[in-house]
Amino acid sequence: MCAQQLLRNKKVLFFDVMGTLIDPEKTFEHALKDSYEDFTARLDGAMSSSDFMNAYRKRYTRFSQRYRSKKKQNRSASANQKRAAHAQPVTKRQLRLRTLHALLSSSSLPFDASSREAFVQYVRKNQRHHYTLYPDVAKTFDQLAKRYTICLISNSHPISVEQLGLHSWVLSTRVFTAKQSGFRKPAREMYQYALKKSGYHAADAVMIGDSKRNDIFGATRAGIDAIWIQREDRQAGGKEGDKKKRTKKIGNEHIVIVRTLSALLDWL
């Protein structure tokens, strides 16, 4: 049986949240703008929030380009060079925070070291009030909810489906977090907890997420097939329409690689 036929026999879909349904860059930017306006409301001569955000985006673009260049060089580097480069930021989240720290250090605002750190922590906490879904979530969930039970699995703090705007497709009782289970992805126990609480077996389920370690390897170790969303990573090879190049197996479990959430409709 091919992967596509096998996946369409499933009954429940487990979705990761951050980076899979929630756009972390848009969320961070909205939280940053709101936090900056709060912090500078009583400061005379502070740059406008629009100017501040433009400065952040320009600096972030430079940081991203620099990192991609180093990452490309690292692929062809020697083992010693790769170990030396290991300390470089490897996630978008790290790049966003590094960009913000650099911007605050260079700006004309009266941010000393302690106030810079306080501001960064405020932005990070403020993100939960600015969660922004990817634009293809609603359309995709409209179709999938007709045929599958949809659940969420997250290592994050308790998640409100109402706050996220997912209540039309996901019941609050179908949200499973690390705080509830006592385990964090990629622990097998996290997935076993979600299966038990949702009333399904591993063979009935598909895990969909953007983290190879937490979502894909974690799910397959629990006996669950998985779909890996790589919105920006092109390393997997193959075009969107070439299904043969977008499937593989890890043990007995099938792995499918897609570029967008809406591409799930080609498989499920």
Question: How many helices (DSSP H) and strands (DSSP E) are in the chain?
Answer: 11, 7
Q: To which H or E segment does residue 3 belong? A: helix 3-7
Domain 3-23+133-266: which topology? Rossmann fold (3.40.50)
Instruction: Report how far apart the first and last C-alpha atoms of the chain are (Å, whole number).
Output: 15
CB of 199 closer than 8 Å to CB of 226: no
> What are the pLDDT digits (tens) for 218-267?
999 999 999 999 986 444 344 444 444 488 777 777 789 999 999 999 99
Domain ranges of the chain: 3-23+133-266, 25-129
Read off the pTM: 0.84
What per-residue confidence (pLDDT) applies to 83? Answer: 56
CA dist., res. 21 & res. 169, Å (int): 13
Distance of CA 25 to the CA centre of its chain: 10
What letter does residue 18 receive in the DSSP assignment? B
pLDDT tens, residue by residue, 100-151 = 999 998 877 777 888 889 999 999 999 999 999 999 999 999 999 999 999 9
CA distances from 243 to 6, 118, 121, 216, 248 (A): 14, 47, 43, 18, 10
pLDDT digits (tens, 9 = 90+) for 58-113: 999 998 888 877 766 665 555 555 555 555 546 888 999 999 999 998 877 777 88
